[in-house]
A and B are shown apart, each in its own frame.
Chain A
Amino acid sequence: MPQSFPQDSVGIVTPQIIHFEQPLPLACGRQLDSYELIVETYGTLNADTSNAVLVCHALSGNHHLAGFHSEQESKPGWWDSAIGPGKPIDTNTFFVIGLNNLGGCHGSTGPQSINPETGKPFGPDFPIMTVPDWVESQARLADHFGIQQWAAVVGGSLGGMQALQWAIDYPQRLRHCLIIAAAPRLSAQNIAFNEVARQAITRDPDFNNGHFYENGNVPKTGLMLARMLGHITYLSDDGMREKFGRELREGKISYDFNPQFEVESYLRYQGERFSTAFDANTYLLMTKALDYFDPAADYGHNLAEAVRNALCKFMVISFTSDWRFSPERSREIVDALVAAEKKVSYAEVDSDHGHDAFLIPNPRYMDIYSAYMKQVASDIPPTSKENN
């Protein structure tokens, strides 16, 4: 008998793989001759495809946004708190698509895929992907589903950057853009953290210049260190104090180098878990996509000029304790949108959860998210509501 899922869960979901034969030219100058995207969808696409919402993932995310792959799966998809019947992205209203981006390690073409030219995994030879490259691949995904215009493109962190890029690259193809816990480009400090993470991976002897698939060893230590470092930047000082304080696992100091503070064992656990579940080449590639993201660069470093042609409405949300992409960074986006006379709303949500706050339900965050998505729903053309 099927286990019962919560009423507001999308329940059991099954991913699908979509094959693309049309070559995809990339910012780096290379191209992917053909590629696959793994996607999950929730809800029902209406007759004129006007109720579709694209959700873009962040650094380590994937296509599994909501629901469960099986009755045995202990945790739902990564944005289950926001997607489902009656949730902010209400699957009774919207048809929601989540995908794993190119270069990912969860089923879309990426470093683990076989390079048709060599018959071996791409590994480090997989082309570096950029946010505009991903948006282009997502536009083709929209074509595949017959979606001319998204009701909304939504994303947090690196996902929010993709949403912003959508508004710039395809102004006609989205009505709303939700940019959550993002930044218009990385700061030197952000890039510095990414570089330490990359060094941790590439200097792991098991990394083998990225060709580690053949010999069966994975650079676990490097990935673990990268994740531990990343994880610190996703939490806030207050949040860590609240969660771990200076609690000791054994209740006393042992005067050795074993993990004694709770925070140490937590980070090791997170790092180790990640190191077996994620691909090192993908991690490197995702951090590069972050570093390179700078839509204003093509417009004389003027973000207002970059968004000048956007046609959609924007909702920008930041979190008070997020120091990876702080509220100031979101305000840069808002200021540029106001200067460009775009329709934009902005909310700054109180949270102790740092950058991770965008993944964690909090009453005010969910209120804002729901209120805005109701606006998105009301902008679905009425004819299609009747057809639905």
Chain B
Amino acid sequence: MRADLEIIQEWIAPNSKVLDLGCGNGELLAFLQQQKQITGYGVEVDHDNITACLEKGVNVIEKNIDEGLASIDDSSFDTVIMTQALQVMYRPDQIVDEMLRIGKECIVTFPNFGHWRARGYLAFRGKMPVSKFLPYTWYNTPNIHFCTFKDFEQLCVERNIHILDRTVVDNEHKHHWSIRLWPNMLGEIAIYRITR
């Protein structure tokens, strides 16, 4: 399983109700269904991913998350997850608000634009960072709202969002002591567990 998903699954309670926004091929939900007997749904727009979910027996709903989640009742899920998709949202702040409305807890992961490599790329080359981890150029990237850990945490303060847990990992999804010491510089992926 993808390493960030490995970290996330530890935060999911057995028999809970989970909504995975941008669930990809359903890997996380399939694992949680088998190992933790969770119920829930994935939301996805990619056609191949939707078929992959159906083949795994994962409930998947084709829906563009940017169109909103208004049809879902308040607090109807124990955990709402969004991995590596916040930066492609039209209004990440509104999506986070919606996630906190429908979920008792939320887990959000996103790439850290404050990582030293991204900083260095822009500082020394004067160009938008392109790397193995962020492989797109500025004009074709689906990632339209990059932020750093600091930016996200500022949003949490402004919106009264309570951070329950924060894990920062590098490209290999490992967390060294150095990342913990200097997360915004050395962490490539942020994993936040938040509530309101």
A residues with a Cβ closer than 8 A to B are 313, 315, 331, 334-335, 338-339, 341, 343-348, 364, 367-368, 371-372, 374-375, 378
Contacts and interface: CB of A to CB of B under 8 A. Distances in A.
A313 B41 CA distance: 12
A311 B158 CA distance: 43
A341 B71 CA distance: 13
B179 to A, nearest CB: 38
Given A331-B71, A338-B41, A338-B72, A372 B62 contact: no
Nearest to A304: B73
Interface string B48-81: 0011011101111111000000011100100000
The 5 closest A-B CB pairs, nearest first, are A371-B54, A335-B71, A346-B61, A371-B55, A347-B62
10 contacts: A313-B59, A334-B61, A338-B72, A339-B76, A343-B59, A344-B41, A345-B54, A368-B54, A371-B51, A374-B55
Interface of A is mostly: helix
A229 to B, nearest CB: 31
Nearest to B72: A338
Given A346-B61, A348-B62, A341 B17 contact: yes
Interface in B85-104: none
A371 B50 CA distance: 10
B47 A338 contact: no
Interface residues of B, number: 20
Contacts of B58: 345
B9 interface: no
A347 B45 CA distance: 9
A108 B81 CA distance: 51
A124 to B, nearest CB: 42
B62 A375 contact: no
Interface of B: 17, 39, 41, 47, 50-51, 53-55, 57-63, 71-73, 76
B61 A345 contact: yes
Given A344-B61, A378-B57, A339 B41 contact: no
A299 B194 CA distance: 37
B53 to A, nearest CB: 7
A42 to B, nearest CB: 23
Nearest to B47: A364
Contacts of A334: 61
Contacts of B50: 347, 368
Nearest to B54: A371
Contacts of A343: 39, 59
Given A339-B73, A343-B59, A344-B59, A367 B51 contact: yes
Contacts of B55: 371, 374-375
A301 B50 CA distance: 31
B51 A345 contact: no
A341 B16 CA distance: 12
